[in-house]
Structure 1
Amino acid sequence: MTAASRRRPSHTVLVAHPSAELYGSDRVMLESVSGLVDDGWRVVVAVPTDGPLIAELRRRGASVELCPSPVLRKSVLTPRGFVRFVRTALVSTVQGSSLLRRERPALVYVNTITVPLWPVLARLRGIPVLTHVHEGEASASAVMRRILALPLFLSRRIVVNSRFSTGVLTSSFRSLGERSEIVYNAVPGPGTRTDPRPRLDGPLRVTYIGRLSPRKGVDVAIGAVAQLRDRGVEADLHVVGSVFPGYEWYEKELTETVGRAGLNDSVRFHGFQPSVWDIVGSGDVVVVPSRVDEPFGNTAVEALLAARPVIASATSGLLEATAGYRTAVTVRPDDATALADALQGTIDGWDATAQAVTADADEAERRHSVSTYRRRIADIVRSAARR
């Protein structure tokens, strides 16, 4: 008899998540949920808003509860944002406590450190907490890093997605780093790989996937394409992703930049896409031009899984995610010229790159195996929930 079959069906894990979208940490959480469902747990996921994540959670066998939750974002530092944060916290305390009373979970799985109220509510009811850390804000002040890390002391177990993120925790509180366990993100690849073009006839096809925000450096990618054009090198940029609410000004700024540079025929905005594989497969190279620290580099790994070379900023978790791959190149952050040089280098070395991408894709599949990730998460949760 397996551990899953011995466990009473009423045993529940409640997963607290800060959004209902389908970006990096959202997709990793889906694999955590699948691992728990496969292990026999009843999984309830609490999200603050409606969104595309909900249908995918239900498809994987989880129940979903809409429950407001205060989320730590930069807007909290403004007077209006702080008032909104406090108001949401009061409502969340009532509804979150009610949800915990009703579900009586064996464990609360807090996905990211941006929802600090859930560990408090769980521990007040004597429920063990596991926190999965997806953040690594090394550029934040020491005081801010310590404030963000404080709720982790309420966690029985801490899972961290990279050595870099562990280092950030250790720099705040050494004991937290010592209690953390690294589990690299599960990153599913495409159902079928599309071979790269044997020859780069026509413009170089560049792809950006991710949030549209200043920290992600989308404008740097646009600047690099503009520089290539000035050098007489043809390149098209396909931008896949949307903005956080409140950052609409940045999207407008990007479109205005494209217009002023005369790149309307070379830069296309696709908005959010539930699946990116067709766009990645029709492209030649993926760029990850982040300006600031990234705890890991899911997009870089996705490019490699799709058998596409990747050019990423030489910073934080991106260095960790791209290490050891022949077709991964890193460049100075916030430097459009360095990115343009690397893109031109991709063209010049295309024959060797096209031959090496298959081996890199195979290695990425091994490192970020979905099945291995699911088993590890299930084992950790089972251990943390055992009283």
Structure 2
Amino acid sequence: MSADVMSGERILIAHPAADLYGSDLQLVEAVRALRGAGAAVRVVMPEAGPLHGRLRRAGAGTRVLPFPVLRASALSGRGIVPFAAGLGPAVAASVGLLRRARPDVLVVNTLTLPWWVAAGRLAGVDVVVYCHEAEAQRSRPIQTALAAPLLGARAVVANSRATARVLTAALPALAGRIVVVPNGVPDAGAPAPMRERAATDALRCVVVGRLSPRKGTMVALEAVARLRADGADVRLDVCGSVFPGYEWFEAELRERAGRPDLAGAVVFHGYVSPTRPLLEAADVVLAPSFGESFGNAAVEGMLAGRPVVACDGLGLGEVLSGAPRTGRLVPPGDAVALARAVAGLAADPAAARAVGAAGRAEALERFSPGRYRAEFVRAVRAVLPRNRRKRPAKPAEKSRETGGNGTSCG
């Protein structure tokens, strides 16, 4: 059998949220890849949300099964207690689901569900962990603790070389089981041309992503404040929302945007989908995250044909590896450098258009969904032969879940 073809294998995917951000949308691409190769796919999530509809349209069945998720707040002494208290019942429920479903492979999507790896082992199901996190800012003990459950997986798919480096630095024993598959980001089509502007005209910037300290949203606000202090008419569109429990950060952002130096210059749009209209309306796309394992939003900015200014750290450095031809890279967390890079593009509109065009060409070549789907299927397919020999195939059942392809997986 070809390495990129499946014939009815059952894949169960555990995913931590039902939103439509980077790792959520990448999951949709992963499902399209597996379905296109012939696999039957089910996705289990702890909540209802818009991702269910996207996954069903991609050919997967979905199911809600409440279970805890290892958010950053749970890594504190206070937060770990309620998280740990829910693990026992969650593992039991997950093992029960896996024994009923009998998937050929369990894909645990992100590091935030380490106990699903244990559930897979207890149920006798081989596990692939799909890692979208590069926790380089964490202490080494926490990095090691986060990476340790991956030793229970037969394979680990990392979304960038940066992610793989962080994992293996924390736990060298993982090196032999990691496969790097850079994300594939769908193109919304040829973008509208960049607007004609003189070097002194108003400038519109946009930042897209979760409102989170590690995403660098506050750095973007401070950079715009510096540009305005220098006399530039710069506006900023902020697209994104917070995880529950991080409302305090949005309040801080809004308070900062309301101060005199930024008053009226920042617009908070909340969650936005699709993002292409706001990206096309921008003159410069900002990607100020300093903890990004890949950076889908940066790729979307490149595909929109707009110059992207990103932090040169982890995955964003890989996405914009062709800089300065394909974008601009600045030190993480440095609002002064971010402002300087934006000012340079604002002062030379022709150069900004050239950077946008080169970035789009680069993104189309390196981050195409077709390339991604073939590589992702190959990584999951490599885990299947042992399972196929281990037990006889289970007859198809009528699905008890919403959507999907008619083959039951739980």
TM over 0.5: yes
Structure 1 contact 212–251 (Cα < 8 Å) conserved:
yes
Q: Does 1:288 align with 2:287?
A: yes
Task: Report what 1:386 is aligned to.
Answer: 385
Instruction: Provide the rounded CA distance (Å) in 1 between the counterparts of 2:114 and 2:122.
Output: 13
* Alignment-derived partner of residue 157 in structure 1: 155
Instruction: Read off the aligned partner of 1:313 and give its amino acid letter.
Output: C
Q: Is the 8 A contact 1:116 1:151 kept in 2?
A: yes
- Report the alpha carbon displacement of residue 307 of structure 1 after superposing the two structures with TM: 0.5
What is aligned with 1:72? 70
Deviation at 1:251, TM superposition (A): 0.8
Relative to structure 2, which stretch is displaced further, 120-129 or 347-356? 347-356
Deviations 1:147-192 (A, max 9, x none): 1111111111111111111111221222212321111111112233
Count of matched residue pairs: 384
Q: 1:1-387 counterparts in 2 under 5 A? A: 7=7, 9=8, 11-78=9-76, 80-200=78-198, 202-290=201-289, 292-325=290-323, 326-387=325-386
> Contact (CA 8 Å) 2:16, 2:69: kept in 1 or not?
yes
**Structure 2 SS opposite 1:199:** coil
Secondary structure, aligned partner of 2:237: strand
Q: Report deviation, 1:231.
A: 1.1
Label 1:159 to 1:2 Cα distance change in 2 as closer, same or farther (>3 A): closer
Q: CA deviation at 1:198?
A: 2.7
| Higher RCO (CA < 8 A, seq sep 6+) | 2
Distance across 1 between alignment mates of 2:14 and 2:58? 16
Instruction: State the shift of 1:80 in Å.
Output: 4.8
The answer as to whether partners of 1:4 and 1:41 remain within 8 angstroms in 2 is: no
Shift of 1:141: 1.4
- Residues 235 and 266 of structure 2 are in contact (CA less than 8 Å); yes or no, is this contact kept in structure 1? yes
Pick closer, same or farther for the CA change 1:5–1:312 going to 2, 3 Å: closer
Deviation at 1:280, TM superposition (A): 0.3
The CA distance in 1 between the partners of 2:35 and 2:157, in whole Å, is: 19
2:317–2:329 contact (8 Å) kept in structure 1:
yes
CA distance in 2, matches of 1:183, 1:284: 31
Shift of 1:275: 0.9
Shift in alpha-carbon separation, 1:147–1:232, aligned structure 2, 3 A: same
What code does the residue aligned with 1:25 have? S
* Distance in structure 2 (CA, Å) of the matches to 1:92 and 1:65: 15
- Aligned 8 A contact 1:170 1:178 in 2: no
User: How far has the Cα of 1:86 moved from its partner?
Assistant: 2.2
Comparing 313-322 with 14-23, greater Cα deviation is found at 313-322
Q: For 2:161 and 2:222, how far apart are their aligned partners in 1?
A: 31
> Distance in 2 between the 1:261 and 1:139 partners?
33
* AA at the equivalent of 1:207: V
Cα distance in 1 for residues equivalent to 2:262 and 2:136:
35
* Residues 260, 360 of structure 1: alpha-carbon distance in 2 compared, 3 angstrom cutoff: closer
Find the aligned partners of 1:221 and 1:80 in 2 and give their Cα distance. Answer: 31
C-alpha distance in 2 between matches for 1:229 and 1:53: 38
Cα gap change, 1:169/1:78 in structure 2, threshold over 3 Å: closer, same or farther?
A: closer
* Alpha carbons 2:42, 2:62 under 8 Å: kept: yes
Q: 1:4: how far off?
A: 9.1
Q: Distance in 1 between matches of 2:379 and 2:315?
A: 23
Which amino acid letter does the alignment assign opposite residue 96 of structure 1?
S
Q: What TM-score comes out, normalization by structure 1 length? A: 0.94
Matched-pair contact (CA < 8 Å) for 1:313–1:330: yes
Alignment gaps of 5+ in structure 2: 387-410
Instruction: Note if contact 1:198-1:354 (Cα within 8 Å) is conserved in structure 2.
Output: no
CA distance in structure 1 between the partners assigned to 2:371 and 2:73 by the alignment:
37
Runs of 4+ with deviation above 4 angstroms: 1-6
- Aligned-partner Cα distance in 1 for 2:272–2:291: 24
Q: CA deviation at 1:356?
A: 4.0
Q: Verify the 8 A CA contact 1:327 1:353 in the aligned structure 2.
A: no
Share of identical aligned residues, percent? Answer: 43
| Cα distance in 1 for residues equivalent to 2:6 and 2:184 | 27
* Alpha-carbon contact 1:70-1:117 (below 8 Å) kept: no
Instruction: Check whether the contact 1:108–1:127 (CA below 8 A) recurs between aligned residues.
Output: yes
Summarize the Cα distance change of 1:6–1:177 in structure 2 as closer, same or farther, 3 Å threshold. closer
Question: Aligned-residue CA RMSD in angstroms?
Answer: 1.9
| 8 Å CA contact retained: 1:68, 1:88 | no
